[in-house]
Amino acid sequence: MTPSKCKQYNEDREVALVSTVAAEFEGFRNTVYRCPVGFRTVGFGRNVEVYPWNLEELAEGNNCDYPEPVAYGWLCKHIETTRRHVLIHHPWAVTSPEEIRLILTDMAYNIGQKGLKGFVNMLTAMREGLYLIAAEQLKDSKYYTQTGRRSKAHYETLRSLGTATGEI
């Protein structure tokens, strides 16, 4: 998937980037399955128990077989909404490096706003520009051990930001 695939739904660069990354981490399944936590899920990690289909979306499936472009469209729309909520709940992120907004949006997509709010120390460190501390807070979480490549990538990004800004 390339960021341009999302452009039909939103021209916003960050939404396109997060959608691409989330699609890679989530993988695609055209039919409903149970995610590791037990929720009914489809497409690129869409939790249909929390975010049920509307009638139009139900019609897009052929006997509950959803084509990848349809699921990618849902992903882009959901990421766009998630990003707006992240910026509402964490207004300091507007002036943070782009990588911080990408991490916050991807985490909120993956674990929800409520789950993201549980990272109090990490969010505080991010808000203060202490990215090495934020990285360690992320690493010291159940999320880090449960999400594999996704959390490791966010950890490495935070470490790189901390190093680039000259944190000690």
Q: Residue 55 domain-assigned?
A: yes
pLDDT score of 10 = 42
Q: Residue 125 domain-assigned?
A: no
CA distance 49 to 46: 9
Those residues with Cβ within 8 angstroms of residue 133's Cβ, 6 or more apart along the chain or in another chain: 121, 125, 162, 167
Q: Residue 80 domain-assigned?
A: yes
Q: How far is CA 124 from CA 36, 68, 96, 161, in A?
A: 29, 37, 12, 16
Residue 68 CB burial class (10 angstroms; 0-12, 13-18, ≥19): middle
Q: Looking at residues 38-61, what average pLDDT do you find?
A: 87
Q: Above 60 in pLDDT, residue 164?
A: yes
Q: Residue 131 domain-assigned?
A: no
Q: Is the Cβ–Cβ distance between 87 and 101 less than 8 Å?
A: yes
Q: Residue 127 domain-assigned?
A: no
Q: Residue 130 domain-assigned?
A: no
Q: Residue 40 domain-assigned?
A: yes
Residues spanned by the domain of 85: 3-91
Least confident of 23-32, 34-43, 50-59, 85-94: 50-59
State the pTM of this model.
0.88
3-state secondary structure (DSSP) of residue 38: coil
pLDDT score of 6 = 54
Most trustworthy range by pLDDT among 26-40, 41-55, 121-135 = 121-135
Q: Residue 109 domain-assigned?
A: no
How many domains, the chain?
Answer: 1
Identify which of 161, 37, 58 has the alpha carbon closest to the alpha carbon of residue 111.
Answer: 37
